[in-house]
Amino acid sequence: MAAFELLLSQARRHCFARTPSHFSLLLRTTNYSLTKSFLGFHRSLSSSSPPPPPPDSSSEPNSETRPHELTRTPPPVQAVSYPVKPKDPSPPQEEPPQSTAPHRTPQPADTISERPLNAQAPTWTREDIRYVKDVPSITPVSYPSRVAPLPEDRADVSAENEQREDRQEGNEQFERERKRIEADHRRIRPGHIVEEEKVPFPTLIKVEQRKGEKVIYDLKEAIRLVKANAKRNFNETVEAHVNLAPELRRTDLKLSGSVKLPHNLGKSVRVVVFAEGTAADEARAAGADIVGGPELIEEIKNGNVKVNFDKCIATPKIMPVVGKEISKILRRLTPNPRSGTVTTDVARVVREAKENIDLKKDPSAIVHVGLGKVSFSEEALRENVGAFVNALLLAKPVGLKKSSKYAGYVNSFHLCSTMGPAFPVSIQSLSIAADQYNKLQLR
């Protein structure tokens, strides 16, 4: 309706602004009639009350009345009244004064199910009913009174003690039977029983080595462990295995030298000398085991003499025959001028071969030498190790780069017996043993 009025007002403003007054009066009369018919239809739908009386002639629109003032006539409002709620005829009960004591919880006797029919119902206040509502009934709990035992009750106590003793005796029998069965299971076969090892108290707990953790021992401790783990039925040899720098795997870096051990090696070294005449006599005087010329070469070639010796020495005169006839049989024992086994001073070389050990590295740059027997004392073995380490330092190649006294030259040092495990030795303890050997030599 408001949109319709706005449309009419806009049309009147633009189209009939300059029309005569009777046109404006006609437009207002039409607007009033339309508004009146719409309001009458709306009231007939919304309320059943009779429509308002028609306006008299005095209320008809004139030229000074506006359409929106006629449409805002408020509808009549009917008053609604409700009946008054009647009051309770019973007199109000006085509430008892509130006390600080806690509210009483109804006992099971107060419930309807247990109360007799002729009993008067208890009077409850509003506060009591708040706490009593939906509360389950609780049966009272009674505890027996404690009474001192009488003399005639002592018989029951004695019976309980007897039963307890019987149970203990039965448990002991079961324990004995269990031990007997376990002993039978420990028998592997008839006549052979595995006896349990009895460890005296207190015992030393062995520290377990973690997986991947490497323990490096002092030289004295390593020698003691080597002697303790040599459990074969022969006198084992104490061996040293030295892992040198990877640069020494080159063929142009030679490791040449020998060392005389203070306490010898503990075994006899078999030396063979190929010489004739005066040189052969000097070799026999120096302690050579086998001395010979062309006849000895012929016997080795035919297999009459076993190659079970440790070193071979030859003079320059007979060396061409040895290299031509038996070099394939001797193999690594073949005399060589570079190693000093081809010489005219046969006596000196034989004595050195009996007392000294040679320092040789394999293609992996590892030196393997024997330094004594397990039967040697720990001090003697320590002095032999010191002499070997000192000789190893003296035989260090000149062309080795990026190395100090030990670092960059000796990577690891292990001691072991012939059939026993190996134990790594610290470089610090080896350096101390080598220094002590040098001091003894200076004296």
Judging by DSSP bridges, how do beta strands 258-260 and 356-358 pair with one another?
A: antiparallel
Question: Based on the domain organization, do 298 and 431 belong to the same domain?
Answer: no
Q: Which two tokens stand for residue 184?
A: 């039978």
> 40: closest CA among 30, 50, 31?
50
Task: Give the domain-ending residue among 355, 389, 418.
Answer: 355
- For residue 80, being part of any structural domain is answered with no
Rounded to an integer, the average pLDDT of 181-193 is 63
CATH assignment of the domain containing 337 = 3.40.50.790
Task: Decide if 75 contacts 51 (C-beta within 8 A).
Answer: no
Instruction: List strand residue ranges (DSSP E) for 8-160, in order.
Output: none
Query: Of 45-59, 207-221, 245-259, 323-337, which range is least confident?
Result: 45-59
Q: Is residue 246 part of a domain?
A: yes
| In a domain? residue 42 | no
- CATH code where residue 396 lies: 3.30.190.20
Q: With contact defined as beta carbons under 8 Å apart, do 427 and 411 qualify?
A: no
If asked whether residues 250 and 389 sit together in one domain, one would say yes
- Looking at the structure, do residues 347 and 420 belong to the same domain, yes or no? no
Return the pLDDT at 95.
52
Contacts of 263 (CB under 8 A, 6+ apart): 372, 376, 380, 381, 383, 384
Is the model more confident about 226 or about 258?
Answer: 226
- Greatest C-alpha distance within the chain: 180
| 371 and 351 in a common domain | no
Q: What is the pLDDT of residues 202-242, one digit of tens each?
A: 555 665 666 666 789 999 999 999 999 998 898 999 999 99
Same domain for 319 and 245, yes or no, is no
> Span 34-50, mean pLDDT?
51
Rounded to the nearest 5 percent, the helix, strand and coil shares of the chain are: 40, 10, 45
**Which of 324, 355, 386 is where one domain is finished?**
355
Structural domain boundaries, residue 406: 216-257+359-443
d(CA 76, CA 122): 58
Count of residues in the chain: 443
For residues 413 and 276, state if they share a domain.
no
Q: Does 157 map to a domain? A: no
Degrees to nearest 5, angle at CA 86 with 81 and 87: 135
Whole-number Å distance between alpha carbons of 263 and 240: 16
Residue 418 pLDDT level (bands cut at 50, 70, 90): very high
Q: Are residues 391 and 245 in the same domain?
A: yes
Give the confidence band of 36 by pLDDT, cuts at 50, 70, 90: low
Total domains in the fold of the chain: 2
Mean pLDDT of the chain: 76
| Tokens standing for residue 284 | 């026999």
Domain for residue 18, yes or no?
A: no
Q: Which of 62-66, 109-113, 133-137 has the highest mean pLDDT?
A: 133-137
Residue 102 placed within a domain: no
- Picking from 62-76, 338-352, 425-439, which range would have the lowest pLDDT averaged per residue? 62-76
The answer to the question of residue 94 being in a domain is no
Boundary of a domain, candidates 323, 355, 387: 355
Pairing of strands 271-274, 311-314: parallel
Q: Are residues 347 and 330 in the same domain?
A: yes
Asked if residue 425 and residue 377 are part of one domain, the reply reads yes
Task: Pick the most confident of 130-134, 255-259, 404-408, 410-414.
Answer: 410-414
0.75 exceeded by pTM: no
Q: Do 415 and 429 meet the contact criterion of CB atoms below 8 Å apart?
A: no
- Inter-residue contact 203 to 336 (CB < 8 Å): no
In a domain, 53, yes or no: no
| Whether residues 351 and 363 fall in one domain | no
384 with 252, same domain?
A: yes
* CA–CA dist 256, 161 (Å, integer): 92
Could you tell me if 252 and 277 lie in one domain? no
Per-residue pLDDT for 27 more than 60? no
Mention every residue, 6+ apart, whose C-beta is less than 8 A from residue 105. 131, 132, 135
